[in-house]
Amino acid sequence: NPALVFWLLVVAGVACCVGMSMPQVHIVAYCTDLGYGAARGAEMLSLMLACGIVSRLVSGAICDRIGGLRTLLLGSFLQGVALLLFLPFDGLVSLYLISALFGLFQGGIVPSYAIIVREYFPPAEAGARVGTVIMFTLFGMALGGWMSGKVFDLTGSYQAAFVNGIAWNLLNLSIAVFLLRRTMRQRPAGPVQPA
């Protein structure tokens, strides 16, 4: 059912970006809360975003080899690992390393949705479908930034906000697994070759 696949991609786009936004939006405040100061947090954010550029380039090469859905699955899994690392490690050096890892892991997730749409839907529908999915990823970033702040306000804990991000990331991961298993049952693995 193409409609089911499309709306699952929409939900996945929201979910991955709710998780993704937690460190990106709150790392400066988190560092301030830990006593390291805003400047250190800003450095971590810069490192995270710079590594995200590398991730986008590398994930493009990965996508060419394994397809969009598997790239989404890989990125979602690795983003979840990085989010988990924020829970036990809050030392200054650890946070720099985890910020770099997070950037390297998350950068290819959102671009993979465009590839998935191209692989699983007719070219005539690509513009509308890619635009819709990407719009919902932006909504996920906004929702996640707000939600993480709300969780912190309610609990006084960035740990709880990270756990919230991890839960949303698990939703994304489960959708990617579901779609991949469904696809593997229906047709051979790998991207569709352009006509």
pTM (2 d.p.) = 0.88
What kind and span of H or E run contains 88?
Answer: none
The Cα–Cα gap between 176 and 76 comes to: 8
Kindly state the tokens that stand for 3. 């409609």
Are 18 and 144 in contact, with CB atoms under 8 Å apart? yes
Residue 28 has pLDDT above 80, yes or no: yes
Q: Which pLDDT band holds residue 31 (cuts at 50, 70, 90)?
A: very high
pLDDT of residue 195: 44
pLDDT of residue 187: 61
Amino acid in the structure at residue 195: A
Residue 149 has pLDDT above 50, yes or no: yes
pLDDT digits (tens, 9 = 90+) for 86-131: 999 999 999 999 999 999 999 889 999 999 999 889 999 989 999 9
Residue 190 has pLDDT above 70, yes or no: no
Q: Which pLDDT band holds residue 185 (cuts at 50, 70, 90)?
A: confident
Residue 29 has pLDDT above 60, yes or no: yes
Average pLDDT, the chain: 92
The Cα–Cα gap between 41 and 34 comes to: 10
What average pLDDT does range 135-148 have in this prediction?
95
The Cα–Cα gap between 117 and 130 comes to: 6
Helix, strand, or coil (residue 5): helix
Residue 148 has pLDDT above 80, yes or no: yes
